[in-house]
Amino acid sequence: MEHNNTATTIKLISDLLEKKANSELGRYNITLSQARILSVLFLSKADSLSLKALEKLFSVSQATMQGTISRLVKKGLVETHFRDDDKKTKYVSITSEGKLLAAGFSSCLKKVNRSLSESLTEEESAQLEAILKKVYKNLKTKI
């Protein structure tokens, strides 16, 4: 299949990676978006992160993040709370069940990531990573 531009190709790759990841993560009953949030909370040195910080980190709207967090709360994987010293900001923390799940699916996410560059040499893979970071940085400064 021939593509007319780089942006279209990047979007098609992104869609395929998300589809592959969601298929792999299906056995854990979570989506890629949910897995990314759990991973950040699991790897964070902080006990909890604010909803606002997660919105900014993932570049999503408040409504989108709130919806994803609500689904994770229903599954018992995260909890939300307000701090005694900050009654206006909602914080999110991962539960022990969420930690177990995050530890389990990390190899699944690594597998999906490897599929992106499995046909590339080590040098090509490093070049691709560098170019994509440069493109991301360029676009982010213009938004």
Q: What is the DSSP string of 58-127?
A: HT--HHHHHHHHHHHHHTTSEEEEEETTEEEEEEEEE-HHHHHHHHHHHHHHHHHHHHHHTTS-HHHHHH
pLDDT of residue 114: 84
Query: Is 1 a member of any domain?
Result: no
Residue identified by tokens 């597998």 is 111
Domain that holds residue 119: 6-141
Stretches in the chain below the pLDDT threshold 50: none
pLDDT of residue 32: 92
CA gap 77, 95 in Å, rounded: 5
Q: How many domains does the chain have?
A: 1
Q: What is the DSSP letter of 30?
A: -
pLDDT of residue 3: 54
Query: Is 94 a member of any domain?
Result: yes
pTM of the model: 0.81
pLDDT of residue 5: 87
